[in-house]
Amino acid sequence: MPTFAEVLEADLITSVSSDLASRTFKIRIGTLVTVITIRISMRRGSSGRYEYTVSHAIQTPEQLGPYLSSIPYGDTPEEALAKAIDDLTLFYSAGVRAGHEPAESWLVRRRSLR
């Protein structure tokens, strides 16, 4: 099972800060300078599952709308963080592979997490 530190070493990720006590992580993706906040919490109504919330959704020119997972959770806090990062980097990579230059506008601010 990976640790938080190992998850934050994922390709395309720059870790800005980590607060393990509150399970709050600040990251950057690829060449973008916008800081994305990810919070991990116990999933409501579920025993033993952890949910993630992100400050920004991603929407590249390849997508019709901002992507927010319908399954934003994992069995451990580390798995939830890895899922959040995978969801963001998957679409970032797809946009770059399609020939688009990364842009700050790819990150769409969500109101629910500041």
Residue pLDDT tens, the chain, 114 long: 799 999 999 999 999 999 999 999 999 999 999 999 999 998 666 667 899 999 999 999 999 999 989 989 999 999 999 999 999 999 999 999 999 999 999 999 987 655
Q: Answer whether 55's CB lies under 8 Å from 63's CB.
A: no
The pTM for the full model equals: 0.92
- Write the DSSP symbol of residue 31: T
Residue 19 near residue 97 (C-beta atoms within 8 A): no
C-alpha distances in Å from residue 69, one per residue of 12, 18, 33, 93: 19, 22, 23, 17
